[in-house]
Structure 1
């Protein structure tokens, strides 16, 4: 090795060490996606994770809520320019923007929750939503008295079809003859925050015989759960534990631990251990699952719980394979 190569190597190592030290000293930043931090679902779960970090460490973080699509790039750049490190970005819709922005800030660590961005300074956290949805689909089929259950998605994108497909597979595993009705709220980002439309779709599904409805629709899901309670059918929440919204009416919630994703990212960055690459959160590491608490304990029978626990163990062991819609944009169960 020449003296010049040795000098360059030492300089590179020094720059890397300095970058890690800067990340440890900086405050993290959180960019909350459309729908707001109090959507009682995806965004609120992320916010709760950040708040848990604050409570446990006494640290501070920067926060911005997106108001419209046009703000995505500007918000990321502003957060990085303010010195936030890492910058945690919520939602799959931010992926293409982050892919463009991250290279311009090589000394800033970014985290995206819900999509993969292949950049050397980006950590991508994704979830096995199809596995958790399979479990709540089983519960829906076991709780249904009509043999017809339903699903209300938010924006009609492959990620939400991943939920729907997993749910339908779980339903059919229990009752092959069951009818699964699937509706999406819309094709634009407003579909995440339209509880009135969510309620309308739910009532339409009820008129077709559905007596259990699963909402994977962000803030729109609040309308789904409300309509289900009003019509005295069971509902299933998503992302956050939404059982408390209508105690005794919400069969369970397919929890997606976005809170853990944010909390763990903040902690890792503070310790200098935030690594780029892809992290998958599934059943085996409590990244997804179903919620059981005092609000739904009377709805979940011992038989139901035993069946779901058995299926969960089989999925983790590889004995049950739940098809991932995103693997080929198709579902073995018609949607």
Structure 2
């Protein structure tokens, strides 16, 4: 199934890590050829026939997890890299705890960064005071709830991703039981879990099926073994389709599906490598699109929202990959029908 729409600075401090690996600050590597080409041309962003300089802009991102998690953080890192390719200077820190986020944001702002991306909504309360101290820096909070001067928020439609995971799982199930394993119990995961249930309910009511969903949040994005054991317990309870939304820990959930011989509906590009036989499809939430879109708006002088904007299937952020392996045509058709309706705003999902 095709995608719906076309789509460093070293910090002078030591931070408490979110994972056992410790915090990590890296300078951006040598600019790729595409970046150098952009700089030679002045690093410009087109705007209605005009263009503005981007090569002088400095953009940073603060990540709550690892940038190679194959999921939430990695897609945002890809967005940051696309900003570098547009000619801007980038920097990032990964594995930054909530309590260290403010110090990280303050460091970048004091170094004159124009944009600072806060990539998890749990940073919001810690970083809003920082924004007031640095009015010349714009802070972009992913999945935040506040728009106030130089602190703006964009919302990613986590519930849409969960919904489509639930739809795909229910359409694939032969036992009539499916499972969802989430990570830390923050609002995006809660929305994804609720969306999963609503997706299963949608399939039942729309296509006359009777599928039951088991949903468990482990409370961790990093404990792979815990996530795997949780998934195994759901599978042993009769589920023949398992689906994750747990950032780094998602690999354990996919591995559980592979080892137990059931099907898996992934949530991040590349997850099929952990479950090559089990994976049937991946429902992607590509936050890179939101990152690059807000940067482009900033470069054009148009990043002045008055309310939180939602990025979902309507903007190509939430989409499905091609199917993997043998899948019946009826399931394929029904999932595509649902995606098409969602992109048009014809599917209602409660934000529970």
TM-score, normalised to structure 2, is: 0.78
Superposed counterparts of 1:81-92, under 5 Å: 81-92=110-121
Instruction: Tell me what 1:330 maps to.
Output: none
**Cα deviation, residue 272, structure 1:** 3.0
Q: Rg bigger for which structure?
A: 1
Given the alignment of the two structures, is residue 156 of structure 1 paired with residue 189 of structure 2, yes or no? no
Instruction: Tell me what 2:214 maps to.
Output: 181
Instruction: Tell me what 1:226 maps to.
Output: 255
Q: Summarize the Cα distance change of 1:315–1:45 in structure 2 as closer, same or farther, 3 Å threshold.
A: closer
**CA–CA separation in structure 1 for the residues paired with 2:293 and 2:79:** 8
Given the alignment of the two structures, is residue 27 of structure 1 paired with residue 58 of structure 2, yes or no? yes
Given the alignment of the two structures, is residue 290 of structure 1 paired with residue 320 of structure 2, yes or no? yes
**CA–CA separation in structure 2 for the residues paired with 1:144 and 1:88:** 39
**C-alpha offsets along residues 229-275 of structure 1, whole Å, 9 cap, x if unaligned?**
11111122225453344334212222112111222233333333323
Given the alignment of the two structures, is residue 65 of structure 1 paired with residue 94 of structure 2, yes or no? yes
Q: Summarize the Cα distance change of 1:212–1:77 in structure 2 as closer, same or farther, 3 Å threshold.
A: same
**Cα deviation, residue 107, structure 1:** 1.4
Instruction: Tell me what 1:6 maps to.
Output: none
Secondary structure at the aligned position of 1:30 is classed as strand
Q: Summarize the Cα distance change of 1:136–1:299 in structure 2 as closer, same or farther, 3 Å threshold.
A: farther
**CA–CA separation in structure 2 for the residues paired with 1:274 and 1:158:** 25
**Cα deviation, residue 70, structure 1:** 2.8
Secondary structure at the aligned position of 1:193 is classed as coil
Given the alignment of the two structures, is residue 257 of structure 1 paired with residue 286 of structure 2, yes or no? yes
Q: Summarize the Cα distance change of 1:182–1:258 in structure 2 as closer, same or farther, 3 Å threshold.
A: same
TM-score, normalised to structure 1, is: 0.82
Moved more, 127-136 or 72-81: 127-136
Aligned equivalent of 2:341, options 300, 304, 314: 314
Q: Summarize the Cα distance change of 1:299–1:272 in structure 2 as closer, same or farther, 3 Å threshold.
A: farther
Secondary structure at the aligned position of 2:228 is classed as helix
**CA–CA separation in structure 2 for the residues paired with 1:171 and 1:177:** 9
**C-alpha offsets along residues 67-95 of structure 1, whole Å, 9 cap, x if unaligned?**
43331111110111111111111011111
- Higher relative CO (CA 8 A, sep ≥ 6), structure 1 or 2? 1
**CA–CA separation in structure 2 for the residues paired with 1:26 and 1:315:** 36
Cα contact 1:154–1:184 (8 A) shared by 2: yes
**CA–CA separation in structure 2 for the residues paired with 1:67 and 1:282:** 26
**CA–CA separation in structure 1 for the residues paired with 2:189 and 2:183:** 7
Q: Summarize the Cα distance change of 1:241–1:258 in structure 2 as closer, same or farther, 3 Å threshold.
A: farther
**Cα deviation, residue 24, structure 1:** 7.7
Q: How many residues align?
A: 296
Secondary structure at the aligned position of 2:175 is classed as coil
**Structure 1 residues without counterparts, runs of 5 or longer:** 1-20, 326-335
- Over aligned residues, Cα RMSD in angstroms? 2.2
Given the alignment of the two structures, is residue 123 of structure 1 paired with residue 156 of structure 2, yes or no? no
Moved runs in structure 1, 4+ residues, more than 6 A? Answer: 21-24
Instruction: Tell me what 1:328 maps to.
Output: none
Cα contact 2:180–2:243 (8 A) shared by 1: yes
**CA–CA separation in structure 2 for the residues paired with 1:117 and 1:24:** 29
**Structure 2 residues without counterparts, runs of 5 or longer:** 1-51
